[in-house]
Amino acid sequence: MFISSASAYQTPPARQPVTESTPLRNPFWRYSRDKIACEDLLVAAYREQGFPATIVRPSHTYDPTLVPFDGGWTVLGRMKAGKPVIVHGDGTSLWTMTHHEDFARAFVPLLAHPRTLGEAFHITSDDVLTWNQIAEALAAALGVTARIVHVPSDAIAAADPEWGAGLLGDKAHSMVFDNTKVRRLVPGWRAVIPFERGARQIADWYLADPARQVTDQALDGVMDKLAATWSQE
């Protein structure tokens, strides 16, 4: 079982929703190209040698420790302090957040299933949100209102190339998925945990222990500069 990534799909996708037959191509992010290379190796081994490989492509699977925005607690801390938070683009691109428990309930039945061999599956939620909604859900979980500043992804990439690579190669593009294929092998499965509940779990986890509330000072400074520049536009 190889855990690949939905970011390996054609970026930006030519058609929505994305299915397992969507081409694999991501010229923007090395992480995704490396995943594609791994998939190519396994597919060739299956075709040529019968190597029993199954590929699973998650899309932004999270647990209570994982903040969807780059910087982790840095973003939550800014929200609590009333500081502006950066959302790429105009915040209306569509994104799919999948709770780890929902992912696991589809993933485990695939293990050792003979009809998965040589196949690829993605496992994602059907609950699609905008990035504005994701920020607002996290802020609500903290008991505050998000002060959102919209910044073009290209401008973020110019200010912080590592942050920008994950945006231009993944998060900046709307991604909506068709989970029909995995449901054929896991009848009755569907993701049932909305991000609003997941956001409360994230907030609770970080607030439960001050040791978890670590601010990335360098990234915080980049966010301050971007907010100062783009809030005046």
Q: Check whether 232 has a pLDDT greater than 80.
A: no
| Residue pLDDT, tens place only, 141-159 | 999 999 999 999 999 999 9
Instruction: Average the pLDDT over 121-127 and give the result.
Output: 96
Among candidate residues 94, 95, 79, 83, the one with its CA nearest the CA of residue 136? 79
pLDDT at 30: 95
134 in Cβ contact with 198 (< 8 Å): no
- How many angstroms from the chain centroid is the CA of residue 69? 9
Query: What percentage of the chain has pLDDT greater than the value 70?
Result: 99
What fold, for 2-230? Rossmann fold (3.40.50)
pLDDT at 143: 98
| C-alpha–C-alpha distance, residues 165 and 163, integer Å | 6
Q: What is the pTM (predicted TM-score) of this model?
A: 0.94
Q: Which amino acid is at 128?
A: V
pLDDT at 186: 97
157 in Cβ contact with 168 (< 8 Å): yes
- Would you put residue 60 in left (φ > 0), alpha (ψ -120 to 50) or beta? left
138 in Cβ contact with 67 (< 8 Å): yes
Residue 210 pLDDT level (bands cut at 50, 70, 90): very high
Instruction: For the chain, give every domain's residue range.
Output: 2-230
| C-alpha–C-alpha distance, residues 148 and 224, integer Å | 12
The b-or-e profile of 72-92 (16+ CB within 10 A means b, else e) is: bbbbbbbbbeeebbbbbbebe
Say which residues have a Cβ less than 8 Å from residue 56's Cβ, sequence separation at least 6: 1, 2, 3, 4, 107, 110, 120, 121, 122, 123
